[in-house]
Amino acid sequence: MGDGSGMLASERSTSTTRTITRRTVTRGVAWSAPLAAISVAAPAFASSIPCQVTTVLDNLTPGQPVGVLKFLPSSVTATIAFGNGAGSGQTGGTGTVAVTTTTPSWNYIEVEMTDPLNAGDYIDVTITLSAAVTNLSFRIHDIDKTGSPQQYGWNDEVWVQTPGFTAVKGANVIGTGTDADAFRNNVFGDQAIDSGLNHVDLKWAGSLSQVKFRYRARNSGNSGNQHIGIGNISFSDCVANPQRLAGRAAQSRTVVGGFVPGETGALVAGRDN
């Protein structure tokens, strides 16, 4: 969200248990780990969308499970639920906070499947808000594939199951996000997560309280672990704190990096926070 456009910057993928190789896994957090309440400070205003609030994932501890997310000063919270199917027995670090190997590094929410995989294995991701909001947005990071058509490797695809979204795609991402035409990468290779090539920014302008997407394996075989990441979640909530909003609106504000200086958890321009 650092560019103030409502979308998120890209990142290079690794988790706290992962070496530089993107698909190498050492599972350090159990899939069955309970949900944890997480207090996340966030800016109250964005220059492009009034009253926009955003998670600041860098405030979270890498390796911990993600449960209830708070969007201060909004009273709206979010939970993220994960479910797997079609034979997907190993979900790796799904549902935990991971950290990139970029400089500077930043955090994201892991969604991961591990060997063995068959084409069609999937993880469903459901983001549920405690109240209806508008302008809900987030980025899905690191949609890519490796190998060649004759070799097994990972091949990520994303089917967005909640209609009404708009999408801004990285340069190598194709598809419309449907079941038959999922978001996927059109170029073979493990592209860096900060390359601008392998992400999709999703946004729902209308009012809603839940969105769902399916992360799916396009190939069968010994693909190594494959994963995507969820970037910061953002939405408009102009009724979060009417008195505070009214007071702030009356002030003359200078916006830096898309956010009001002095706001708690203000984002840094040009990167995902």
Average pLDDT over residues 71-97: 83
Q: What pLDDT does residue 164 have? A: 97
Average pLDDT over residues 71-93: 81
Residue 50 lies in a domain: yes
Residue listed under structure tokens 């000063």: 73
Q: pLDDT of 124-159, one tens digit each? A: 999 999 999 999 999 999 999 886 554 567 889 999
Residue 173 lies in a domain: yes
Tell if the pTM clears 0.75, that is, is over it.
no
Name which residue leads in pLDDT, 255 or 138.
138
Give the range of the structural domain holding residue 73, as residue numbers without chain letter: 37-249
Residue 160 lies in a domain: yes
Residue 31 lies in a domain: no
Q: How many domains does the chain have?
A: 1
Q: DSSP assignment of 88-117, as one string?
A: ----TTTTBEEE-SSSS--EEEEEEE-SSB
pLDDT band at 224 (very low <50, low <70, confident <90, very high): low
Residue 263 lies in a domain: no
Q: What pLDDT does residue 241 have? A: 45
CATH number at residue 171: 2.60.120
Q: Which residues, other chains included, contact 127 with Cβ-Cβ below 8 Å and sequence gap of 6+?
A: 78, 79, 80, 138, 210, 211, 212, 233
pLDDT band at 64 (very low <50, low <70, confident <90, very high): very high
Is residue 39's pLDDT more than 80? no
Residue 138 lies in a domain: yes
Residue 111 lies in a domain: yes
Residue 12 lies in a domain: no
